[in-house]
Amino acid sequence: MIKPNSMCSEIAKYMYTFVIIIAVNFATNGQTKWRFAVVGDTHVGSSDTIAEMVPFMLADNIECLLVPGDIAEGGLACSSAKLQIQFEHWQSLLKPLYDKGIGIYPIYGNHENDAKSSMLAWNNVFSSLYALPQNGPSGEENFTYSFTHKNALFIGLDDYKNIHKVNQTWLDQQLAARKQPHVFVFGHESAFKIFHADCLDDSVSARNTFWQSLSHAGVKVYFCGHDHFLDVANVDDGDGNANNDVIQYLVGTGGGWLMSQYSNYNGINSPFTLKRLYHEMEFGYALVEISGEEMKDLNVTITWKKRNWNTTTSKYEYIDSPSVVQYSANALTGIDNMVQKNPQIFPNPASNSITLSGFYGNTSIFNQLGVLVWKDIIVDNQSIDTSTFQNGVYIVQNNNSIKKLIIRNNSL
């Protein structure tokens, strides 16, 4: 017979074992959810609002933080030395996150770009232990970069090396090489005008190429700032397929003065149509939750954590708001699964070179005997040297696309 105290001990041991089994099963079934946060326009130097958010981000168990630009007040009258002080103060406000090993990934904004010798100040502060990924294109290291975390690829884009444009060639290469089902892209400027007229639509053609590249790659959301409010819009490309639409998620609510004015997307949007999902003039941050860590874990929930005055504690808190976006990522293992958009080869017949339009990712060229003569990961509108190809008929194969190529090289 088991004595009462002994029985309690046995029950406790059983319950402990049961909890461990459940926890192990939960983890091994790919259901270990993970989170990151996004907030832009913290404007440290004129605002310390971001410091209010840090404890709530910690409570949300975030694993990284994206900050799409204007982290400091900066501005035209700001010296490099003053800007550096603002950057260092920004880092001190986020120290509780840094101390927990949470990755923090800021992007350059116009308030940084406007300050004197701002790139020097940026590189001085975001160096050593605070250095950002150094895999950006030449001349944009520490400003444009990508990194992976669990089953996601993150791509941060600078808009000021080439004003109001992103480095599209580098971006295409990143999208082509990725192997993760989740891709999150962030930059300072919105792609479609809300309040600021200076944004990526200053070059409509480049903006359209940028947005289409996101859609083709299965990217579901682009995070940005620049305007100081929350604005979430679905961007419809008009093809009748809602599954390849991309959301513009503007969350410039980190501390910069709040803006009451905004447009009904009255910029140059063609061929896209925007539908506003949420808009609010308040401080807060986006909390992004991925349903698990494995390739099969595709569900994403984005909740705007809104600033709220708690009358009981007489303090501000950041709570879940009704502004929630949910989607399921495409089950991609790489760019080979992208939708090929009207792939074409020109010129065709060709001699010394060809350009592949509408092709992405792993691409192979076979001669008429079926022998592989060329293979690479490519981006849209990439040129290929065919000067050493023998005259004849070739097959260009990419994903589910097969195209015939004729080489007439008179020099051979």
* Each residue's pLDDT tens digit, 383-403: 889 989 999 999 898 765 788
* pLDDT confidence band for 61 (50 / 70 / 90): very high
The answer to whether residues 322 and 357 belong to one domain is no
Q: Of 334, 350, 366, which one is at a domain's C-terminal end? A: 334
Quick one: the chain helix, strand, coil %, rounded to 5? Answer: 25, 30, 45
CA–CA separation, 328 and 297 (whole Å): 9
The answer to whether residues 277 and 178 belong to one domain is yes
Q: Of 334, 351, 369, which one is at a domain's C-terminal end? A: 334
DSSP class of residue 299 equals: E
What's the pTM?
0.77
Helix (H) / strand (E) element for 58: namely: helix 49-59
The answer to whether residues 219 and 303 belong to one domain is yes
Mean pLDDT of the region 249-271: 96
Phi-psi region of 13 (alpha: psi -120 to 50; beta: other; left: phi over 0): alpha
Q: Kindly write down the DSSP assignment for every residue of 325-367, as one continuous string.
A: EEEE----SSGGGSPP-S-EEESSSBSSEEEEES--EEEEEEE
- Kindly tell me if the per-residue pLDDT of 34 is higher than 50: yes
Mean pLDDT of the region 106-124: 97
The CA-atom distances, in angstroms, between 375 and each of 44, 355, 364, 399 are 49, 14, 4, 13
Decide if 6 is inside a domain. no
Phi-psi region of 136 (alpha: psi -120 to 50; beta: other; left: phi over 0): beta
Burial label, 101 (beta-carbon count in 10 A; 0-12, 13-18, 19+): exposed
The CA-atom distances, in angstroms, between 39 and each of 175, 246, 319, 390 are 23, 19, 15, 55
pLDDT, greater one: 356 or 187: 187
Mean pLDDT of the region 399-408: 81
* pLDDT confidence band for 280 (50 / 70 / 90): very high
The answer to whether residues 402 and 330 belong to one domain is no
Nearest to 112 by CA among 41, 165, 195: 41
The answer to whether residues 329 and 349 belong to one domain is no
Decide if 60 is inside a domain. yes
Decide if 315 is inside a domain. yes
Q: How far is Cα of residue 300 from the mean position of the Cα atoms in its chain?
A: 14
Q: How far is Cα of residue 367 from the mean position of the Cα atoms in its chain?
A: 39
**356: containing domain:** 340-407
Decide if 196 is inside a domain. yes
- Kindly tell me if the per-residue pLDDT of 365 is higher than 80: yes
* Each residue's pLDDT tens digit, 212-258: 999 999 999 999 999 999 999 999 999 888 888 999 999 999 999 99
pLDDT, greater one: 145 or 375: 145
β-bridge partners, 224: 250
pLDDT, greater one: 241 or 289: 289
Decide if 54 is inside a domain. yes
Chain mean pLDDT for the chain: 89
Q: Of 334, 369, 396, which one is at a domain's C-terminal end? A: 334
Nearest to 326 by CA among 291, 374, 352, 361: 291
Q: How far is Cα of residue 47 from the mean position of the Cα atoms in its chain?
A: 26
Q: What percent of the chain has pLDDT over 70?
A: 87
Burial label, 252 (beta-carbon count in 10 A; 0-12, 13-18, 19+): buried
Number of domains present in the structure of the chain:
2
**CATH number, residue 303:** 3.60.21.10
The answer to whether residues 248 and 357 belong to one domain is no
Nearest to 272 by CA among 328, 331, 338, 190: 190
The answer to whether residues 323 and 352 belong to one domain is no
Nearest to 297 by CA among 181, 160, 171, 408: 181
Give the up-direction half-sphere exposure of residue 381: CA atoms within 13 A in the CB hemisphere. 5
Decide if 363 is inside a domain. yes
Reduce the DSSP state of residue 93 to 3 states and report it: helix
E strands, 218-314, are 221-224, 230-236, 246-251, 273-280, 284-290, 299-310
The answer to whether residues 322 and 350 belong to one domain is no
For the chain, report the end-to-end CA distance as a whole number of angstroms: 96
Sole residue written with tokens 């080489």: 407
Decide if 326 is inside a domain. yes
Decide if 22 is inside a domain. no
